């Protein structure tokens, strides 16, 4: 039986696995249900990425002491049940000493935005189908646009820095961030004014009970007609039906999202999803599978850091 079970082991950091091995045996491959249940039965540590930790899973791990998740968000974990069982969670939440070195989500945000407004996916498909008509997918540029940053924390500021360097006017809104931490070139506005003025809006907000579906019908209707919308934060922040309506009605010129509501590792949330169906026939909606923080470099760094923390929590010297 294994002391540590890596539930999402694909391309997991070898150095992190070596650290977990100091605790005891490590299961680091995908196993069929019965064999996985055998490994979980005696596990003290389970390691995840974005896979769900439900009551049903926890019931299979009676000796569990630690859940390790190299993520800042924890909405994929049943926190109430975990607390009731006295299980420790080790994550990146609040670990600015680690997260300040990780810029991958901000880079992905800009990559999505540029792909969207320059219509790169459409051009790519056009060329693959034998076309070479440069007039067919004329896009827009960042320079001269007003970009609204909703949430001016670490990632929001990083995105703002990149787009500011590209010639955009940056406006922001964030009721939780102190003004002395926000660069002077970001014009802080009310949410209402930001929605009305922005050609592009990028969402960078922590998920909290009070801000679920903070972007709903009201916000999309208040946005500047023909604006673009990007979300690489959490899917639950956006009412997907309202986003779909805003796209279908041409209220939005386009959207790019890396996160969706009720995400499932097996993609169950995609079935009969209007946004997915829309994206299959419209090139102004880009969807990626929550890969904002998923690069070789960032994953190795964060997985190693979390493994070290797990050892410390369990009183094991490195």
The residues spanned by each domain of the chain are: 4-99+296-313, 104-287
pTM of the shown model: 0.90
CA distance 48 to 69: 5
- Mean pLDDT for the chain overall: 94
Question: What is the predicted pLDDT for the residue at 1?
Answer: 62
CA distance 250 to 252: 5
DSSP string across 240-269: HHHHHHHHHTTSEEEEEES--TT--TTSGG
Interior angle at CA 104, CA 102 and CA 105, nearest 5: 110
Asked if the domains at 4-99+296-313 and 104-287 fall in one CATH topology, the answer is yes
CA distance 201 to 257: 12
Interior angle at CA 266, CA 264 and CA 267, nearest 5: 65
Q: How many residues does the chain have?
A: 318
Question: What is the predicted pLDDT for the residue at 109?
Answer: 98
CA distance 24 to 89: 19
**pLDDT tens digit string along 69-121?**
999 889 899 999 999 999 999 999 888 888 888 889 999 999 999 999 999 99
Q: Which residue blocks in the chain are alpha helix, DSSP H?
A: 14-21, 33-40, 55-59, 79-85, 96-99, 104-117, 120-128, 154-165, 191-197, 217-222, 240-248, 274-279, 296-313
Catalytic machinery residues:
234, 263, 290
Q: How many CB atoms lie within 10 A of CB 10?
A: 9
**pLDDT tens digit string along 220-265?**
999 999 999 999 999 999 999 999 999 999 999 999 999 999 898 8
DSSP 200: E
| 105, two tokens | 């989500």
pLDDT greater than 80 at residue 318 = no
CATH of 104-287, one of 3.30.70.260, 3.40.50.720, 1.10.1530.10, 3.40.50.1970: 3.40.50.720
Phi then psi dihedrals of residue 231, to 5 deg: -135, 115
**Pairing of β 169-173 and β 187-188:** parallel
Domain 4-99+296-313 classification at class level: alpha beta
């Amino acid at each position: 039986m294994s002391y540590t079970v890596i539930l999402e082991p694909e391309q997991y950091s070898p150095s992190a696995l070596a650290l977990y091995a100091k605790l005891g045996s490590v299961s680091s491959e995908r196993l069929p249900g019965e064999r996985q249940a055998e490994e979980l039965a005696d596990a003290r540590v389970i390691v995840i990425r974005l896979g769900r930790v439900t009551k049903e899973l926890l019931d299979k791990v009676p000796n569990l002491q630690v859940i390790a998740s190299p993520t800042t968000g924890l909405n994929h974990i049943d926190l109430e049940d975990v607390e009731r069982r006295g299980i420790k969670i080790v994550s990146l939440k609040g670990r600015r000493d680690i997260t300040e070195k990780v810029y991958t989500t901000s880079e992905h945000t800009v990559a999505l935005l540029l792909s969207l407004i320059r219509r790169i996916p459409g051009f790519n498909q056009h060329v693959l189908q034998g076309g070479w008509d440069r007039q067919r997918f004329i896009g827009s540029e960042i320079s001269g646009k007003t970009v609204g940053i909703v949430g001016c924390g670490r990632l929001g500021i990083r995105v703002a820095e990149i787009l500011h360097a590209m010639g955009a006017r940056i406006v922001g809104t964030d009721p939780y961030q102190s003004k002395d931490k926000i660069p002077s070139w970001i014009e802080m506005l009310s949410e209402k004014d930001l929605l009305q003025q922005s050609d592009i809006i990028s969402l960078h907000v922590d998920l909290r009970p009070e801000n679920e579906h903070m972007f709903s019908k009201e916000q999309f209707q208040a946005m500047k007609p023909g604006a673009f919308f990007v979300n690489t934060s959490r899917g639950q922040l956006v009412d997907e039906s309202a986003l779909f309506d805003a796209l279908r009605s041409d209220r939005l010129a386009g959207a790019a999202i890396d996160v969706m509501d009720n995400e499932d590792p097996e993609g169950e949330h995609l079935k009969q999803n209007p946004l997915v169906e829309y994206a299959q026939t419209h090139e102004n909606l880009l969807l990626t599978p929550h890969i904002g923080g998923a690069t070789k470099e960032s994953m190795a760094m964060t997985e190693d850091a979390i493994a070290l923390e797990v050892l410390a929590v369990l009183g094991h010297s490195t």
